[in-house]
Amino acid sequence: MTWDTNHVPDQTGRTVVVTGATAGIGYFAAEQLAAAGADVVLASRSADKLAVAEKAIRDRVPAASIRSVVLELGSFRSVDEAAAELSALPRLDAIFLNGGAMTMQRGAKTEDGHPVILGTHVLANFRLVAGLLPALADSSTRIVHASTGFVARFPVSVDDLKHNPLIGIAAYTTAKTATEVFAFELERRLRAAASPVISIVTRPGVGVDAKTPERVGIRDATTPYQRNPYTHWAQGKDAAAWSGVRALTDPAAQGGDYFAPAAGIKGAPILVDPTPRTASPVGDLAERVWGQLEELSGVELVMPGSRV
């Protein structure tokens, strides 16, 4: 279907969680969902920044229905607390797993001793999903995973996730490759369990500060500005949120879908073919990645309706 980024389908009555919602793509996804009538749950690590994001959204959408949950992806304890809080919501229609630290500092660790990029982009999300699924047994919930075009462009190994690449961009690409393998394997297991929950993957293209509209406390003179060599060809972070928003709201979206910008690094979101290496891994790679994620995250991810 043709997608109009300016007219998201009415989301009245739907509850959508967005992680990493206090800046960048996460913030703009939350703002767009609120404008479409969704009950939006902002999830991020700073209560102060969550308050700023809530105000920024209400400045643009006075009637917005918003609430916040503190979620520190670098702490399994915080992930478990957030999962319990989200599981208690009257309903949960979708969750956008968008958050994750972007530090390229070598040796940086999470509270639980894992490399920060792997821990916040993959392990925390795996543990969060494991904590939420028991409450979603009869829910048609969408789990939307944020990936990157680097996965398709730069093949990396995920045979041993305990091996942390020294170069930051390699660590990031490895984490997002594992994210895609997890997302597609999750979809296969959900289907095998006849669950109404679906798993979808998105990538945002390239969103840059220079083309991002201002929002007080979110993107203005008081917030850090990051230069990007792709600025001339890129889009703002508001547009980079479109793929995730479509995955969360398109009534025709199905489990296993992959949404990305039409022009690769920018543009309206379209349905694209996933990378075969992650969507249909050779041999038992998906099972081995799943096993590593269970080991490293410290939880067993059980499908709704299944018995341990």
Please provide the DSSP assignment of 44-81 as one string.
ES-HHHHHHHHHHHHHH-TT-EEEEEE--TT-HHHHHH
Give, to the nearest 10 degrees, the angle between helix 24-35 and helix 47-60.
40
Reply yes or no on whether the pLDDT at 187 is more than 50. Answer: yes
Closest CA to 140 of 187, 96, 183, 92: 92
Q: Is 100 part of a structural domain of the chain?
A: yes
Q: Is 60 part of a structural domain of the chain?
A: yes
What is the DSSP secondary structure assignment for residue 284, as one 8-state letter? T
Q: What pLDDT is attached to residue 218? A: 94
Q: What pLDDT is attached to residue 224? A: 84
Reply yes or no on whether the pLDDT at 36 is more than 70. Answer: yes
Strand order from edge to edge, sheet including 269-271: 65-70, 39-44, 15-19, 94-97, 142-146, 198-202, 258-261, 269-271
Q: Is 308 part of a structural domain of the chain?
A: no
Q: Is 306 part of a structural domain of the chain?
A: no
Q: Is 305 part of a structural domain of the chain?
A: no
Q: What pLDDT is attached to residue 307? A: 47
Look over the chain and give the mean of its residue pLDDT values, rounded to a whole number.
Answer: 95
Q: What pLDDT is attached to residue 308? A: 45
Q: Is 42 part of a structural domain of the chain?
A: yes
Would you place residue 222 in the very low, low, confident or very high pLDDT band (cuts 50, 70, 90)? confident
Q: Is 148 part of a structural domain of the chain?
A: yes
Would you place residue 305 in the very low, low, confident or very high pLDDT band (cuts 50, 70, 90)? low
Task: For residue 148, give its domain range.
Answer: 15-297
CA dihedral 218, 220, 224, 228 (to 10 degrees): 100
Which tens digit of pLDDT belongs to each residue from 71-113? 999 999 999 999 999 999 999 999 999 999 987 777 889 999 9
Give, to the nearest 10 degrees, the angle between helix 168-192 and helix 124-132.
20
CATH number at residue 133: 3.40.50.720
Specify the number of domains making up the chain: 1
The more confidently predicted of residues 224 and 272 is: 272
Measure the CA–CA gap between 119 and 66, rounded to whole angstroms. 27
pTM (2 d.p.):
0.96
Which tens digit of pLDDT belongs to each residue from 127-149? 999 999 999 988 999 999 999 99
Q: What pLDDT is attached to residue 107? A: 80
Q: Is 226 part of a structural domain of the chain?
A: yes
